[in-house]
Amino acid sequence: MTRSHRILAAAAVSLALAAGTACAADIGQVKVAKGSVTIERGGQSIPATLGARLQQRDVVRTGADGSVGITMSDNSLLSAGPSSEIALDQYSFDPTTNDGRFDTKLSKGTLAVVSGRIAKQSPKAMTVHTPGATLGVRGTEFVVSADGGRSVR
């Protein structure tokens, strides 16, 4: 590999990185954070501070003393209680047409949801997965847990 090739390769890598940053659009924002709350992004764990922006495929975790409230760009509200894990598996939203797709997974803990513009536009566009169910969200407000059944609580 010649020197100029190396420079070209480096330039290509930085362009790819820049494009990656541009593509990773903000999809939501942390509006409430109490106790321990972290965001796992690309294998790294970052603290979810007030105002932190979220991206598709982020996993939000709360500790035993934690809770978190998130507003999504389509006006959906997600909030989780202690010892919870929410994966923002898929999110796309076109604010001109309101078309989009929003798939979330609750692996453990508790989650309160108010659906937004994506679910209002299409009753099939928003789902929440839990270890025992798929929720089709036609609107608008509900709570869901992944900690065992009624008698367990």
Partner 1 sequence: MAADRYAEARDVVRILRRFAHITGCTVRIVALGVVALAAGCATPTGTVVLLPAQDGHRSVLSVSEGGREVLLDKPYAAAETTTQGPRGYESSKAEVAKNFGTALAAQPARLQRYTLFFNEGNDALTDESKATFERVFPDIAKRSVPDIVVIGHTDSTGSDQLNDRLSLQRANAIRDEMIRRGIPAADIVAEGRGKREPLVKTGEGVAEAQNRRVEIIVR
Interaction site with partner 1 (CB under 8 A): 29-32, 34, 50-51, 67-71, 73, 75, 77, 79-82, 84, 95-98, 106, 109-112, 114, 123, 130-153
- Would you say 20 or 35 has its CB closer to partner 1? 35
- Would you say 44 or 97 has its CB closer to partner 1? 97
Q: From the CB of 56, what's the least distance to partner 1, in Å?
A: 17
Q: How far apart are CA 21 and CA 134, in angstroms?
A: 31
Strands 141-145 and 100-108: unpaired
- Would you say 37 or 56 has its CB closer to partner 1? 37
- Would you say 3 or 70 has its CB closer to partner 1? 70
Q: From the CB of 20, what's the least distance to partner 1, in Å?
A: 20
- Would you say 11 or 32 has its CB closer to partner 1? 32
Q: From the CB of 133, what's the least distance to partner 1, in Å?
A: 4
Complete DSSP assignment for 83-96: S-EEEEEEEEE-TT
Q: Which two tokens stand for residue 90?
A: 């898929």
Is residue 101 helix, strand or coil?
A: strand
Q: From the CB of 5, what's the least distance to partner 1, in Å?
A: 39
Strands 126-130 and 100-108: parallel
The CA–CA distances, whole Å, from 19 to 9, 13, 22, 23 equal 15, 10, 5, 6
Q: From the CB of 6, what's the least distance to partner 1, in Å?
A: 36
CB distance 135 to 128 below 8 Å: yes
